[in-house]
Structure 1
Amino acid sequence: MVISARAQAELPDFTGLVKENTSAVVNISTTQAPPAQGSSRFDQDQLDQMPDFFRRFFEGPNSPFGGGQPGRQQPLHSMGSGFIVSDDGYVLTNNHVVEGADEVIVRLSDRRELAARVVGTDPRSDLAVLKINAQDLPVVKMGKSSELEQGEWVFAIGSPFGFDYTVTAGIVSAIGRSLPSENYVPFIQTDVAINPGNSGGPLFNLEGEVVGINSQIYTRSGGFMGVSFAIPIDVAMNVFDQIRDQGFVSRGWLGVLIQEVNRDLAESFGLNRPRGALVAEVLPDSPAEAAGLQPGDIILEYEGQSINLSSDLPPMVGRTKINETAELLVLRNGDEVELDVKIGELPEDRMAREDQPAEPSPTAGPLGLSVVNLTDEQREQLGIENGVRVRNVGPGPALDAGIRPNDVIRKLNNETVNSIDDFQRIASNLPKGKAVPVLVMRDGQSTFLVIKTEE
């Protein structure tokens, strides 16, 4: 088919954008201990429907996707994509790309292969933060997924089926999609060709800015069928900041069970059209109960934002900071009522943290962080004799100084730190309002940071 000069002029040219952004995209390969019996990452139905070439690629003994002959125990290998968000080596990808991995390798565009540390993961949003030991890396530009419009051109760079730096393009098919498996992510739906191996890679707009992370496909064959879903970058960066700064993710919680308002319900409640989130149940001891929400209320607005579908509400609540007050506009008995609710923490997030193996973690109040003693094995691996590991960092001087979870503090104010007791003693006696040095080991390298206590 011959494309007219006019039509050709109206089509976007991706060549310059691809050249500008390819270097910040990475390939991620993982290795996992073998299962009881050899198995493939893809089920037999998916394999049967693949072309012969791809089936041999996945099932072959040298397949990077964990193929092998039945009965032979082999490590499982998988591939995915990701992108660099800071020049000191932070990488964003999907949680399902690295979940259960014993080894994670990040391959850069210059063909360097670097071992990555999993800083933290958030299965609920299917996001993971990795850290590689490198400096002055190329980074992507961040856009605003909230400004995306239906019909807008977008393109993806990733490694489908292991073919590095593959570029595919399409349009935004829909925004704010709610999938059955996840209520807290308003997915971007596109028709960009996404296949196994694209997961975790960036979705760009025509400004060359990342607006999403390719995460899921809807398929009946195991391959691309024109329906792909990406995590909005606004959601992803909120998760990234929390994992980087505090090591875990917290989401806002209202404490209601809601349902869609259909045409009949809208008529029965006196609405001129279906809209809002109908409260079916208010959970006991929840922020909603404390605010006076009642079954039968229809939440029309949250913080001034209209609720068109009931699925619009959970992501809005989830992005709200814990203990922040939000304003609701509610339809109750035909009248519009304004309610203020103090948002709590989603119980599942809190329980997930509390279910982690317990270890002592006394907090040094003046600095706003908690530390734990190093094990003998950790000392041996790091090649050091002294230090304490940072477990959590909250708001305060430590966070301002750039100290992060899993850093090892070896000296504080020029005094050697051998244990939690040493750290607490030194931290408690730091001069008020004065900058002092702290020696930190991060990713095998030691560096001095400056910490200043409050006056």
Structure 2
Amino acid sequence: MNDRVNSDITTPRKILRPRRLALLGTVAALGVAALAIAPGISPYGINALIAPAQAAEAAATPPGFGDLVSKVKPAVISVRVRIDQDNDKSAMLQQNRMGSDEDTPFDQFSRQFGFRFPGGANGMPRQRHQMITGEGSGFFISADGYAVTNNHVVDHAESVQVTMDDGTTYTAKVVGTDPKTDLALIKVDGKKDFPFVRFSDQKPRIGDWVVAVGNPFGLGGTVTAGIVSASGRDIGNGPYDDFIQIDAPINKGNSGGPAFDMNGNVIGVNTAIFSPSGGSVGIGFDIPASTAKLVVAQLKDKGAVTRGWLGVQVQPVTSDIAESLGLKEARGAIVDNPQDGSPAAKAGIEAGDVITAVNGTAIKDSRDLARTIAGLAPGTSVTLDVSRKGDSKTVTLALGELPNERQAKGNSKGNADEGRGQPGAGTPRLGLSLAPAGDVQGAGQKGVVVTEVDPQGPAAQRGIRTGDVILNVGGKAVSNVDEVRSELAQAKSSGKRSVLLQVRGAEATRFVAVPLA
């Protein structure tokens, strides 16, 4: 009986051992993707096990940008400019300057590794009338050497030099600039085979991948990636703001560089960042390709940009305005005042009219109207949908050409603080630069326009901003800088500690008491 029991136990063991080995062999085969299959296991079962694993691994590994970068990077250039120190009003000096008194992150990097640069950086003294060097980015848009960059990169440049990805340098000339959109076109002569990229014909979607290439902090050839974060951003940079927001890191020196979609087309021109620290925090702004194409085409054709002109001062339609006018929704632009002799005035547009559409396309707000009209050529016939006192009407007119801001002549424009420190000069300092309203397009004819504000001055501390119009000083109407100085001096000589200004801002007219420094 014992023998029979032992026999019963031994037999199953002999059967089980081959099965264990077969299972181990199957596991090993799966591990190395072998084709040897243990008896009883279908090859279809193995495929079903392997396929999900491969799919999961592929999903966990996003595709790289290497092929895209190798395709577009040769067309991206570093732009180096030299600017006379006396011309340092250039906006470029505030955003991309190197070798200046400002302690940039690149200065810190340089000191850490023992590099030193002349001209005031790293504690070295600055000399008067020296040339300042600034750096930005750009990209070729044609094989014959046309390249795009920012206006603030080449503004007031005495010379422009570009460096390609392979280190080759060329001298470039400025073909034309457009400060209103911060775009510039430069040209390198002598070659017909430059690598170049094209602007995209499609508007990017929020969430699409974006790759930025440029010259941050003068380091050159830097690639970053991210997504399109938002579109239609108005950051107060100019009258036609319509920026694409991206989170691909861009920094000082990236200005003028391209942002690419995954097809290698330029969706935007890097132009600004939001940064409390001076470095990237993931909020960058690009000029859309659609805007850049129109501007660049005009710069190439005639070296300047002409825009359609309607000749109205407008403001957005708020919900309160819409309700008071009986409008169904708060959309469109309400006319504050048509300018005398303008196309709008000749066509019968009146103050209080609400422009709701141009050529059948709805207008969102006053800025949308400005961008739409500016995108049309002078002389273009347009149809405006207008709401007037609850009634709808259609007005057809031919656009004029947007006048350039008239430059003041002689002493008509100047600093309200000029003369300070001169014999007999007793004008109080407000920290303002002013120009007669009649010399600034769209400002009207009364008062003086604030063209620049010292952020540390008493006027800035009382809320005076660039673009405000000062109508009177101390109860006296003013129309030029000399009258402002005279009233300030009289107020001070009378022993007053402050002077009352009547100021017309973008929203309303108000009185502001400014201390006499």
Please indicate, yes or no, whether the TM-score normalized by the shorter chain is above 0.5. Answer: yes
Aligned twin of 1:323: 379
Aligned twin of 1:239: 295
Tell me: CA distance 1:45–1:6, structure 2 relative to 1, closer, same or farther (3 Å). farther
The structure where helix makes up a greater share of residues is 2
Deviation of 1:247 after TM superposition, in Å, equals 2.0
Equivalent of residue 95 in structure 1, options 137, 144, 151: 151
Aligned twin of 1:24: 75
Contact 2:359/2:384 (CA < 8 Å) preserved in 1?
Answer: yes
Tell me: CA distance 1:66–1:209, structure 2 relative to 1, closer, same or farther (3 Å). farther
Aligned twin of 2:273: 217
Aligned twin of 1:360: none
Q: What secondary structure sits across from 1:327 in the alignment?
A: strand
Aligned twin of 2:236: 180
Q: Where in structure 2 are the equivalents of 1:406-421 lying within 5 Å? A: none
Q: Where in structure 2 are the equivalents of 1:33-432 lying within 5 Å? A: 33-35=84-86, 41=97, 47=103, 50=105, 53-54=108-109, 56=111, 61-62=116-117, 69-73=124-128, 74-133=130-189, 134-144=191-201, 147-348=203-404, 351=406
User: How far apart in 2 are the matches of 1:63 and 1:267?
Assistant: 62
Q: What secondary structure sits across from 2:299 in the alignment?
A: helix
User: How far apart in 2 are the matches of 1:345 and 1:253?
Assistant: 5
Tell me: CA distance 1:202–1:149, structure 2 relative to 1, closer, same or farther (3 Å). same
User: How far apart in 2 are the matches of 1:151 and 1:65?
Assistant: 43
User: How far apart in 2 are the matches of 1:15 and 1:118?
Assistant: 32
Deviation of 1:100 after TM superposition, in Å, equals 1.5
Q: Deviations over 1:7-53 (max 9, x none)?
A: 535x563222111100111111112234599x9937999738x4884
User: How far apart in 2 are the matches of 1:345 and 1:250?
Assistant: 7
Amino acid in the other structure paired with 2:117 = N
Contact 2:136/2:215 (CA < 8 Å) preserved in 1?
Answer: yes
User: How far apart in 2 are the matches of 1:194 and 1:59?
Assistant: 25
Identity of aligned residues (%): 40
User: How far apart in 1 are the matches of 2:185 and 2:119?
Assistant: 22
Amino acid in the other structure paired with 1:163 = L
User: How far apart in 2 are the matches of 1:326 and 1:13?
Assistant: 47
Q: Rg: which structure is higher?
A: 2
Contact 1:58/1:65 (CA < 8 Å) preserved in 2?
Answer: no
Contact 1:156/1:167 (CA < 8 Å) preserved in 2?
Answer: yes
Tell me: CA distance 1:295–1:29, structure 2 relative to 1, closer, same or farther (3 Å). same
Tell me: CA distance 1:36–1:205, structure 2 relative to 1, closer, same or farther (3 Å). closer
Q: What secondary structure sits across from 2:404 in the alignment?
A: helix
Q: What's the C-alpha RMSD, in Å, of the aligned pairs?
A: 3.0
Q: Does 172-181 or 278-287 show the bigger shift?
A: 172-181
Q: What secondary structure sits across from 1:311 in the alignment?
A: helix
Tell me: CA distance 1:45–1:26, structure 2 relative to 1, closer, same or farther (3 Å). closer
Structure 2 unaligned spans of 5+? 1-55, 410-517
Amino acid in the other structure paired with 1:151 = G
Q: What secondary structure sits across from 2:167 in the alignment?
A: coil
Q: What secondary structure sits across from 2:172 in the alignment?
A: strand
Deviation of 1:104 after TM superposition, in Å, equals 0.7
Q: Deviations over 1:287-317 (max 9, x none)?
A: 1111221111211111222212322111111
Q: What secondary structure sits across from 1:140 in the alignment?
A: coil
Aligned length: 346
User: How far apart in 2 are the matches of 1:113 and 1:195?
Assistant: 23
Deviation of 1:116 after TM superposition, in Å, equals 0.4
Amino acid in the other structure paired with 2:132 = L
Tell me: CA distance 1:110–1:60, structure 2 relative to 1, closer, same or farther (3 Å). closer
Q: What secondary structure sits across from 2:356 in the alignment?
A: strand
Tell me: CA distance 1:117–1:271, structure 2 relative to 1, closer, same or farther (3 Å). same
Q: What secondary structure sits across from 1:239 in the alignment?
A: helix
Q: Which has the higher contact order (CA 8 A, sep 6+)?
A: 1
User: How far apart in 1 are the matches of 2:390 and 2:80?
Assistant: 57
Deviation of 1:97 after TM superposition, in Å, equals 0.7
User: How far apart in 1 are the matches of 2:101 and 2:388?
Assistant: 51
Q: Does 305-314 or 200-209 show the bigger shift?
A: 305-314
Deviation of 1:319 after TM superposition, in Å, equals 0.9
Q: What secondary structure sits across from 1:266 in the alignment?
A: helix
Contact 1:172/1:191 (CA < 8 Å) preserved in 2?
Answer: yes
Q: Does 193-202 or 241-250 show the bigger shift?
A: 241-250
Contact 1:325/1:340 (CA < 8 Å) preserved in 2?
Answer: yes
Deviation of 1:68 after TM superposition, in Å, equals 6.0
TM normalised by structure 2 equals: 0.61
Structure 1 unaligned spans of 5+? 356-455
Contact 1:25/1:201 (CA < 8 Å) preserved in 2?
Answer: yes
Aligned twin of 1:8: 60
User: How far apart in 2 are the matches of 1:326 and 1:58?
Assistant: 60
Q: What secondary structure sits across from 2:234 in the alignment?
A: strand
User: How far apart in 2 are the matches of 1:219 and 1:173?
Assistant: 16
Tell me: CA distance 1:284–1:113, structure 2 relative to 1, closer, same or farther (3 Å). same
TM normalised by structure 1 equals: 0.69
